[in-house]
Every structure is written in C-alpha cells, then in structure tokens.
Amino acid sequence: MRSDHSLYLFDTHALVFWAKKQCVSDTFIRYFDEQVDKGNVIVSSISFWEIALLTQKNKIKINDVNQWRIELLKNTNIQLIHPTASEMIDSTLLENIHKDPFDRLLIVQANNKNAIIVTKDKLIADYAVNTYWV
C-alpha cells in the first residue's frame, strides 16, 4: 500500500534504524529518504520519550537524545506530531492485543492522520491500521 501521496508514521525502531542507517536495507533507506524529502513522514513526540527510555536502559546508544532530536528535525522534512488527550484515551480502548502503550498510541495516531505505520512489529498489524514493512 505505497504511493507518493502516502503519509508514513515511523514506529520508534523504524525512526532509529532509518536515522542511523542500520538494521534496514539500502532500498528501505533510499525509499524513506525520498519520502522524508517529500514531507511524507511523521514522527510522534512519544517516540523521543521511548528513545530516551531505551537510551537510559542502554538498549540503544545515543549520546544526547535532545540534541539528536533537534538535529534530526532541523535537517529533515520529518513532521513532528503530538498525541492529544483523546488519542491517549482512545489508545486504552483498543482491543487488548498489544500491551505496549507507545505502540497503542501510535496506532490511534496513524489512524487519525490516515497514515501508514512503518514497523516490524507484527502485533501492530493485527489492528485495523495500515502498516508497511511487517
């Protein structure tokens, strides 16, 4: 389900993999470089919270998450979106397939923005949401 007019919401791992150019194919990187250039990629502010938590737990290595975020958003056409109170509440009303509150919120945000979630998380695909890469 790809087209040049699609809007993509990066799951947190997809954002990190694309930005660091690791754990994904060159084709993936090229495709999303193009989509970012066109302004077709959005990232939820909650992903930066999750990245900070993962960095704190030494699951990923980013020296300064705030500086990394600032540089990423300054040097790309990625659009930053923020969850609304309604989206946070709606995420708790989803069928209880996925336990991760970050992913549940991303599902709601993607649906509200009519975006495709870029993820390798197979549980997300069990919801009524468009996914890419699973």
**98-130 confidence digits (pLDDT tens):** 999 999 999 999 999 999 999 999 999 999 999
Domains of the chain: 8-129 (3.40.50.1010)
**Rounded mean pLDDT of the chain?**
94
The pLDDT score that the predictor gives to residue 2 is 46
Q: Does residue 48 carry a pLDDT above 60?
A: yes
pLDDT tier, 45 (very low <50, low <70, confident <90, very high otherwise) = very high
The helix (H) or strand (E) run that includes residue 24 is none
The pLDDT score that the predictor gives to residue 133 is 87
The answer to whether 48 and 69 are in contact (CB under 8 A) is yes
The pLDDT score that the predictor gives to residue 28 is 95
Which residues, 6+ apart, have CB-to-CB distance to 99 below 8 Å? none
78 CB neighbour count, 10 Å cutoff: 22
